[in-house]
Chain A
Amino acid sequence: MYSIKVEQLVRHFGKNVAVDDISFKVESGEIFGFLGPNGAGKTTTINMLTTLLRPTSGTALVNGYDVGKQQALVRQSIGMIFQDASLDDKLTGRENLLFHGMLYGLSADDFSDKAAKLLDMVELTDRAEEVVLNYSGGMKRRLEIVRGLLHNPNILFLDEPTLGLDPQTRRHIWDYLITLRERQGVTMFMTTHYMEEAEHCDHIAIIDDGKIVGLDTPEALKAMVGGDIIMAITDDNEQASLRLQNSHGVDTRKGPDNQLIIETERGDRFIPEMMSVLTDQTQGNISVKSVYLRCPTLEDVFIKLTGHAMRDQNAVDKDKVRSGMRRWRGR
């Protein structure tokens, strides 16, 4: 049973190809993650799946309904948590929830039970009667998340749901989402560029520049990297890299903060060998300042698949600008 089936989905914006021929399936009851850098096409994909955008070509079935031809039925099947602000800030927190309940046809009793419970979960009960204009960014985000959960959708779309939330709230929300999945079998399709968050997913599609470059379980994806990751800081990274290439045939790459990253099987055994090669007196001693051994992360997978880091400085800057925008627009 699949909740979402996407075949050769494409979306252009003028000449810009935002989503470039993607296909995937999401099983009922699973958490499916879309992981990719800024501008990869995550939101564009979600917008097509939730009937907000028309695909340029290709098909997508959500809950068995065609997003192009059966929009009413698709919209009845889903809930959506948007990446950008989507509250009415002239209304109170509770009123925002109330309008959502009304739009989705919740009875008054259902609404008050559910709203009370959800407001409690995100600790907004005390502020529920205040207009959203007075809320902080994180409070708005929390309200938006519980609003999307209010009508118990079969399929929940979450576009960067926990962006800008503190770790504690993030954990709260994840606990709730996981319970929701277990108790009610809700299918979740989420986008994120937090690696840790992607770990919660049953399957992850890695998307870059509009294309899916990898799709599997987080474990399987990490297994692709193979073995361990060693991060070293040395006097002369270029020289060190060259020497390891010659001696062991291993490829290295540049990491953040002037680190040298080495991908290898059995890192525990490789470290002593590496040390002896680097400190070899006959070739000249390269002094090693620190060595760190860890398991591969999805970031490593991303780099392996795309050849570039997910969060290059450019993207980080863009993100800052955008979260500033969000704050401004959210007023």
Chain B
Amino acid sequence: MARALDKPSDNIMEMLKRNVRGAYTIWYRDIVRFKRDRVRMFSSLGMPIVYLFVFGSGLSPAMREMGGGNIDFKQFMFPGVLTMTVLFTSVFSAVSIVWDREFGFLKEVMVAPVSRVAVALGKVAGGSTVSLFQGLIVLLLAPVLGVNLSISQIVSLIGLMVMLAVMMTSLGILIAARQKSMEGFHMMMNFVLLPMFFLSGAFFPLRGVPVWMYLLSKLDPVTYGVDPLRQVSLQALVPPDLMHTVSLNPVTYNVMMMASFSVLFLIPAVWLFGRQE
């Protein structure tokens, strides 16, 4: 009877094939689990709606002069809500590694003939796909808010969401790489992720804030995700010469910062995850 397992080989092409297949498997598992979880798919719409319509409507009257009076607060918040969805979905997807470790499934993956790097990259791909999908669902709210998007805007937003997702999934894997239980993650959630989100300018403009906050926001990777999403989604509403009142950096700069942060997170994440106990 033929062996299904090929003769062990460390030929470069063989290894590559094996690892691409492994990464694909990890990605595919995330997709299957996501599809099964209809509740999660739609409940994730709940938070954005609450924020937009409660918070947004409540603050709208106080924040009238945004973008030279061309947009209201809900429209300002929309890219922030988009960021929120992508950010938390990405991090949660990556941190599911901790669940897998606690419930034992991770061992099954770790003895398989697939490198740790491939597993981590598969996880980045899986988490990013799932959060992009969630982001797209939130995008459906845009017309309700009077944010009408053209095809080219949507394409740009997708690109930006993917970058944000990759960055945040990488951060999630970095957090989860050595974590043995979910408790440690809750700490991270309260002391790292939430501050990161609130300092990013998702829900208020970072103009005229105290210097410490301004400086922290510069160090905050999420800032570089919110800013371009805002510029692209409000393109048609805010005249170009007034865009600077609601934004910070050129889009290309933001994109470069996201790419840099992704690399900065991913390399130690893969290294930590791959280290044997």
Contacts and interface: CB of A to CB of B under 8 A. Distances in A.
Interface of A: 50-54, 63, 65, 70, 72-73, 75-78, 80, 82, 84-91, 95, 99-100, 102-107, 110, 114, 147, 150-154, 183-184, 329-330
Contact of B103 (A63, A72, A85): A85
Contact of B108 (A63, A86, A89): A86
B22 interface: yes
Given A88-B105, A90-B33, A90-B36, A52 B6 contact: no
A85 B104 CA distance: 6
Nearest to B8: A76
Contact of A72 (B33, B110, B113): B113
Nearest to A71: B276
B4 A103 contact: no
Interface string B13-31: 0010010011011001100
A329 B182 CA distance: 14
Given A87-B105, A95-B32, A105-B18, A54 B277 contact: yes
Contact of A75 (B33, B104, B112): B112
Given A54-B277, A99-B29, A183 B21 contact: no
Contacts of A147: 108
A76 B5 contact: yes
Contacts of A100: 108, 112
Given A88-B29, A183-B1, A78 B276 contact: no
Nearest to A100: B108
Interface of B: 1, 3-6, 8-10, 15, 18, 21-22, 24-25, 28-29, 32-33, 36-37, 100, 102-105, 107-115, 276-277
A50 B3 CA distance: 20
A103 B8 contact: no
A51 B32 CA distance: 28
Given A52-B277, A103-B112, 10 more contacts: A51-B111, A76-B5, A77-B5, A86-B108, A89-B103, A90-B37, A103-B21, A107-B4, A154-B3, A184-B3
